[in-house]
Amino acid sequence: MHAYTTSRIALPSHAAQPSQPAAFDTAPLQPVSFFPAAAEIYAQGEKAGAFYQVEFGAVRVYRLLADGRRQISAFHLAGETFGFEAGTTHHFFAEAISATGVRVFRFAAGADMSHQLLPLALKGLTRAQEHLLVLGRQNAIERVAAFLVDMAERQGGLRQVELPMSRMDIGDYLGLTIETVSRVFTRLKDKGVIRLLNLRSIEIVKHDALQNMSE
Amino acid sequence: MHAYTTSRIALPSHAAQPSQPAAFDTAPLQPVSFFPAAAEIYAQGEKAGAFYQVEFGAVRVYRLLADGRRQISAFHLAGETFGFEAGTTHHFFAEAISATGVRVFRFAAGADMSHQLLPLALKGLTRAQEHLLVLGRQNAIERVAAFLVDMAERQGGLRQVELPMSRMDIGDYLGLTIETVSRVFTRLKDKGVIRLLNLRSIEIVKHDALQNMSE
DNA sequence: CGAACCTTTGAAGGGCTTCAATACTTGTGG
DNA sequence: CCACAAGTATTGAAGCCCTTCAAAGGTTCG
């Protein structure tokens, strides 16, 4: 049980940029809010009433236990949508991982968003349930492999994968400590499965091997 | 890593009962299908296109790894709804735990079920994400405590709680082995927190203690 | 350049799993 | 109704994977 502490470096700058005319969308574009690294996008207990699309950067969504243990339930990268929740208050925290731009879609009171939200909610449900299998039944190397395969797919399936989050974030997503995450990275590197280009980016050398490990 | 084997005792009896006139509902009641213990309700890869409400009995929804490791993502008790999934095919298996009656609501092609499904999907999403915290960051006694508190709440908050599932089901839901589940039950009994009335029902003696353990 | 932070690596310990045996429960047939 | 068999649960002992504790190395940013 590790204690989790965060230094809240800066508050989000809610200064919305001037809404530009929609170039591709049919609906007028929502303004983009900017959040510096570690800024809170919403907090547990806050009133909900919007959903969010990542323009650039990355977001972590998590819950805390009373003693500080943290479980990140999802990361959201550019283009992905998050923040819709049951009921009227948030059950989770959402924070920018790095400098992040987020388009906020507020629901008008009484507006019916079912059609937009249902596919997103179902997608999120499937993702969460697949992650349950990883946390419940896979060991450390399988968890990291599954994480890397997932990150690679979400970045277009390229060999080089960017990891915007820290080892602690990865650990809190996979239910592991940072030491174990680090050791598994080293093992995968020594096996020639991946190369560590720098702290925040890796190259997948043996994609099949990684894929097999994650199953 | 334990191998998982199941004896498929019987196939589901899809013989629908004669649909009775709706007594309380506005819509005509759907027929109820009966499934004996261990019968499959749907399988991974099957075409989806319905959702299900448990009339009596209990259901487990799970995924398997290639080597047989199983993760149960959810149990569903009488009155609860399940089986809506993203895309057109099921990503999971659903089985009756004990003799179970299920009301099947098929979607007409092109019918818009968003309004009915969205709240269910959001509820399921929240549940799954809370379970992620349990699997990722809680130890064995905390997991079992959380499970028992959840089961008690879903059965009306009474002292006596029925557990229709086996220890193996509980283990596969909590990411533990049956031995660990059994040992934790014994520890909770020895502490006077619960009483084991029989294999499938317990009494919660110290609800506060259990609640605190699960947080 | 130095301080703070993050990551890696090492060593020891603990919690859960694995393996094994016994006890209990349930269903079936004599 | 009891005997037996098969399945399920409990308990014990040993082992292993991951965590914890500790220290050194690396990176970032003032």
- Per-residue model confidence as pLDDT tens digits over A33-85: 999 999 999 999 999 989 999 999 999 999 999 999 999 999 999 999 999 88
Whether residue B125 sits in one domain with residue B86: yes
Q: Which amino acid is at B187?
A: R
Does A65 contact B126 at a Cβ distance shorter than 8 Å? no
Instruction: Give dist(CA B96, CA B84) in Å, integer.
Output: 17
Residue A28 has pLDDT above 70, yes or no: no
Residue B143 has pLDDT above 50, yes or no: yes
Rounded mean pLDDT, A192-211: 97
Cβ proximity of A158 and A166 under 8 Å: no
From the CA of B164 to the C1' of D19: give the distance in Å: 34
A148: phi then psi, degrees, rounded to nearest 5: -65, -40
The answer to whether B96 CB sits below 7 Å from nucleic acid chain C is: no
R_g over Cα of chain A: 18
Question: Around B66, how many Cα atoms within 13 Å sit in the side-chain half-sphere?
Answer: 6
User: Which pLDDT score, from 0 to 100, does residue B24 have?
Assistant: 37
Q: What percent of chain B has pLDDT over 90?
A: 77
Closest CA to B128 of A144, A147, A92: A92
Strand partners, A165: none
Whether residue B128 sits in one domain with residue B42: yes
Cβ proximity of B161 and B202 under 8 Å: yes
Whether residue A87 sits in one domain with residue A38: yes
Chain A: nearest CA to B75, how far in angstroms? 13
Residue B180 lies in a domain: yes
Tokens 């731009």, located at residue:
A101
Residue A127 lies in a domain: yes
* Region of B113 on the Ramachandran plot (φ > 0 left; ψ -120 to 50 alpha; else beta): alpha
Residue A188 lies in a domain: yes
**pLDDT tens by residue, B168-189:** 999 999 999 999 999 999 999 9
Chain A: nearest CA to B15, how far in angstroms? 30
From the CA of A113 to the C1' of C12: give the distance in Å: 55
B13 DSSP assignment:
B
Closest CA to B87 of B134, B47, B143: B47
Residue A2 lies in a domain: no
Rounded mean pLDDT, B17-36: 60
Residue B100 lies in a domain: yes
Residue A26 lies in a domain: no
Residue A23 has pLDDT above 80, yes or no: no
**At which of B81, B116, B132 does a domain end?**
B132
CATH code at position A110: 2.60.120.10
CA A150, A153, A154, A159 torsion-angle sign: positive
Instruction: Give dist(CA A75, CA A147) in Å, integer.
Output: 11
Whether residue B148 sits in one domain with residue B60: no
Residue A13 lies in a domain: no
**At which of B71, B105, B132 does a domain end?**
B132
Residue B11 lies in a domain: no
Q: Which helix (H) or strand (E) holds A73?
A: strand A70-77
User: Which pLDDT score, from 0 to 100, does residue A8 have?
Assistant: 32
Least confident of A54-68, A106-120, B190-204: A106-120
Least confident of A15-19, B94-98, B135-139: A15-19
Burial of A72 (0-12, 13-18, 19+ CB in 10 A): buried
Closest CA to A136 of B150, B155, B64: B64
Question: Strand D positions with any atom < 7 Å from protein CB?
Answer: 7-13, 17-22, 27-28
Whether residue A90 sits in one domain with residue A39: yes
Whether residue A127 sits in one domain with residue A50: yes
**At which of B132, B157, B186 does a domain end?**
B132
Whether residue B162 sits in one domain with residue B127: no
Residues in B closer than 8 angstroms to A124, CB to CB, are 125
- Split into its structural domains, chain B has a count of 2
By residue range, what is the domain housing residue A188? 138-213
Residue A160 has pLDDT above 80, yes or no: yes
Whether residue B120 sits in one domain with residue B69: yes
For the beta sheet containing A93-96, the strands, ordered from the edge strand earlier in sequence to the opposite edge, are A40-42, A93-96, A58-64, A70-77
Whether residue B193 sits in one domain with residue B121: no
Instruction: Give dist(CA A85, CA B116) in Å, integer.
Output: 16
Q: Beta-strand (E) ranges in chain B?
A: 32-35, 40-42, 50-56, 58-64, 70-77, 81-82, 93-96, 100-106, 160-162, 194-198, 201-204
CATH code at position A196: 1.10.10.10
Rounded mean pLDDT, A178-184: 98
Tokens 């991974």, located at residue:
B44
Whether residue B123 sits in one domain with residue B180: no
User: Which pLDDT score, from 0 to 100, does residue A111 have?
Assistant: 79
Instruction: Give dist(CA A152, CA A161) in Å, integer.
Output: 6
Whether residue A117 sits in one domain with residue A39: yes
The answer to whether B140 CB sits below 7 Å from nucleic acid chain C is: yes
Instruction: Find the CB nearest A65 among B85, B137, B172.
Output: B137
Chain A residue with the nearest C-alpha to that of B67: A215
Chain A residue with the nearest C-alpha to that of B132: A132
Cβ proximity of B83 and B73 under 8 Å: no
Q: Is A3 on the interface with B (CB under 8 A)?
A: no
From the CA of A179 to the C1' of D22: give the distance in Å: 12
Residues in B closer than 8 angstroms to A117, CB to CB, are 118, 122
Q: What percent of chain A has pLDDT over 70?
A: 87
The answer to whether B196 CB sits below 7 Å from nucleic acid chain D is: yes
Instruction: Give dist(CA A143, CA A174) in Å, integer.
Output: 6
**pLDDT tens by residue, B82-105:** 998 878 899 999 999 999 999 999
Cβ proximity of A90 and A120 under 8 Å: no
User: Which pLDDT score, from 0 to 100, does residue A27 have?
Assistant: 52
Instruction: Give dist(CA A181, CA A183) in Å, integer.
Output: 6
Whether residue B208 sits in one domain with residue B146: yes
Cβ proximity of A41 and A81 under 8 Å: no
